[in-house]
Structure 1
Amino acid sequence: MSWWNDADDDDLDDEFDESDVRVRPNPKANRPRTKRRPSHSDAVTARVLGVDRGRYSVLVAEGEPDEREVTATRARELRKTPIVTGDAARVVGDLSGDEGTLGRIVGIEERTSLLRRSADDTDQVERVIVANADQMLLVVAAADPEPRPRLVDRYLIAALDAGIRPLMVITKTDLADPAGFLEHFSGLADLRVFRSSQSDPPVAEIGESLVGHSTVFVGHSGVGKSTLVNALVPDAGRATGHVNAVTGRGRHTSSSTESLRYRSGEGTGWVIDTPGVRSFGLGHVDPENILRAYPDLAEVAAECPRGCSHLPDAPDCRLNEAIDAGDLPVARVDSLQRLLLTFDRRTEW
């Protein structure tokens, strides 16, 4: 005879039920996953002035009596979003600007322009330089270091690809006559050029073109870009350097991109100073936009046969025929064809 009574089993079933088992709540495990994020309806729009080791300097209440600079970090959901100088950022948190306070960037407004470059022409990974600029001022030295027409061509292509109006200033004109260099760009009727000596930069003339605009300054190392920025914005304090007598190369002085406000009796504008570079890759640029940087050549190329590559071996190419006839400068057409050839090889790869 079994010592266990079936009746006892029935009594246990009546006493204990599965619904009586207490389950310890686990909010994290039981909470449904969602991609929804806070709306941040209290966010204010601020201009990104610069970035330093993961901290962003932003301008809150721009143009208002309580305008102030605030230090901010980026929200976690923006960790893969590039935030660059010139961006219009949505910011929350402590926006008092007091020492030790920190805001948080939670969004970026739609950009009107984006200036980019790549490491080289075969690298399609873009490096964003500045956002929302509407002008580019190319700073080129007439000598020391020698001007590089093909580098300037690349700047022009990047500007036009981004929808940015290019300007140019030739520095150190007291050291050499820039006429031969400027001949390379004679076909660019809309390119405004300023001439500047080391002792007498045309600050007022250049400044007039900056009012009401956001202008990014670019140039080869050692051309006097930082010196010009300091003349336009006296409290900028941008470091200046010299050109190595042996290599003929300038030393990098500006290590970061920074927005500086230009002020004059005519109004205000923004000067965006960038580090000097010795190369400017165009791996991100649509090859069809290259010809736009050569409007004088594009006019001739419009008469080429359909599908013409405009390369030196292209049959019946009007550009090559114009060179043979002496109607176009060889150096300028050669600059265009070198760039087109680079992109043609990239496509084959």
Structure 2
Amino acid sequence: MRDTGTDDPRVKVRPNRRGSRPRTKIRPDFGNALTARVYRVDRGRYHLVLEEAGTAVVAVKARELGRGAIAVGDRVSVVGDTSGKKDTLARIVRVLDRTSSLRRTAEEGEAAGNERVIVANADKLLIITALAQPEPRTGMIDRCLVAAYDGGMEPVLVLTKSDLADPAPLLDHYRDLNLKVLATSINEETGHDGVDIVAEEVTDSISVLVGHSGVGKSTLINALVPDADRATGSVNAVTGRGRHTSSSAIAFDLEDGGIIVDTPGVRSFGLAHVEPNTLIKAFPDLMELAEECPRGCTHAETEPECELDTATGSTALRVASYRRLLEARHNAEQF
């Protein structure tokens, strides 16, 4: 037999293209990393504010964090050049634990099943709804309520354009949810009516605004943060829907303390990620009844042995409200 060792011309020895440096299991130590909050995400650049120094810094994220790992409102650890000088970049190496998250699941016509966090660590979700131009859509409000309860935020319903329509019918629709409601009117003739109440509500907290295009989110932001200079738009006279003026979420510091986050106007809000048992936690008065339900009960109206059916009086009204939100969780209708 012939020797087919490395001297044999038939044996091909490939050069080591990756070099000869041995791999190591020792990971870098980021003990000296600084903590910052994400205020804006723009084409792979993360605009941060350092918590201690208050310096505005632009950063990129470490490759191991993966795509979509960072959202506006996140608290992150950063290393590298944190001077904030022009043309300098820091590096985000860690995302700290979140206290809450506003999440949305893509629906039909989008990348199905694609769940993403829109805003992290918010205390309150302000659901901005116009009483007219465009008309209020309770389906969207219901979905936002589900997202708030699921994400660990306090929902607040903010009614804009209150000078154009009576809020009573809409308020009656939500009377059994113990929902905090604020009303504002902002236009050239009446000025800023009710904005001071909203300002008091969001002071010393992190609040995120969500709602349809054209309901007045950007106008409200400009009233609360005069330097924000958010673009405002009108409502389409044919469709009755607003035109998109905000393309991405962005956070602003409030003068009296706190942070407010403006989000792009949405026409749908997928909730496939929300579990029914998570949603009912927002109704502590119904939890005791639900514990008596058979295993696997979804608490829907069609369940044959759901204990929620035994509720009476005001509790029965609460059950009806809960089931309406449960239906919104399953409803894939575009708004």
User: Fold-level match, TM-score > 0.5?
Assistant: yes
2:205 aligned partner:
213
Give TM-score scaled by structure 1 length.
0.79
Are 1:89 and 1:109, in contact at CA under 8 Å, matched by a contact in 2?
A: yes
1:277 aligned partner:
266
Q: Which of the numbers 28, 33, 41 marks the counterpart of 1:38?
A: 28
2:173 aligned partner:
184
Q: Equivalences for 1:111-130 in 2 at 5 Å? A: 111-120=98-107, 123-130=112-119
Are 1:43 and 1:91, in contact at CA under 8 Å, matched by a contact in 2?
A: yes
- Whichever of the two has the greater Rg, that structure is 1
Are 2:128 and 1:134 aligned? no
In the TM superposition, residue 35 of structure 1 has moved relative to its aligned partner by: 4.7
Q: What is the DSSP-based 3-state SS (H/G/I as helix, E as strand, rest coil) of the residue aligned with 1:256? A: coil
Amino acid at match of 2:75: A
Distance 1:303 1:294 in 2: 13
- Identity of paired residues, percent? 50
Distance 1:275 1:44, change over 3 A: same
Amino acid at match of 1:282: L
Distance 2:150 2:327 in 1: 18
Are 2:55 and 1:68 aligned? yes
Structure 1 unaligned spans of 5+: 1-24, 344-349
In the TM superposition, residue 79 of structure 1 has moved relative to its aligned partner by: 3.2
Listed one character per residue, the Cα deviations across residues 56-78 of structure 1 (whole Å, up to 9, x for unaligned) are: 1110244x4xx221111112222
In the TM superposition, residue 91 of structure 1 has moved relative to its aligned partner by: 1.2
Distance 1:184 1:322, change over 3 A: farther
Are 2:213 and 2:241, in contact at CA under 8 Å, matched by a contact in 1?
A: yes
In the TM superposition, residue 271 of structure 1 has moved relative to its aligned partner by: 0.3
1:84 aligned partner:
71
Amino acid at match of 2:251: S
Are 2:142 and 2:328, in contact at CA under 8 Å, matched by a contact in 1?
A: no
Q: What is the DSSP-based 3-state SS (H/G/I as helix, E as strand, rest coil) of the residue aligned with 1:263? A: coil
Amino acid at match of 2:237: A
Distance 1:300 1:197, change over 3 A: farther
Distance 1:127 1:149 in 2: 23
Listed one character per residue, the Cα deviations across residues 244-276 of structure 1 (whole Å, up to 9, x for unaligned) are: 000000111111111101113xxx000011101
Distance 2:123 2:112 in 1: 25
Distance 1:143 1:72 in 2: 41
In the TM superposition, residue 135 of structure 1 has moved relative to its aligned partner by: 1.0
Give the superposed CA RMSD: 3.1
Q: What is the DSSP-based 3-state SS (H/G/I as helix, E as strand, rest coil) of the residue aligned with 2:185? A: coil
2:138 aligned partner:
149
Structure 2 unaligned spans of 5+: 1-14
In the TM superposition, residue 338 of structure 1 has moved relative to its aligned partner by: 2.7
Count of matched residue positions in the alignment of Structure 1 and Structure 2 = 311
In the TM superposition, residue 335 of structure 1 has moved relative to its aligned partner by: 2.6
2:7 aligned partner:
none
Are 1:116 and 1:127, in contact at CA under 8 Å, matched by a contact in 2?
A: yes
Q: What is the DSSP-based 3-state SS (H/G/I as helix, E as strand, rest coil) of the residue aligned with 1:187? A: helix
Distance 1:110 1:295 in 2: 26
Are 1:60 and 1:68, in contact at CA under 8 Å, matched by a contact in 2?
A: yes
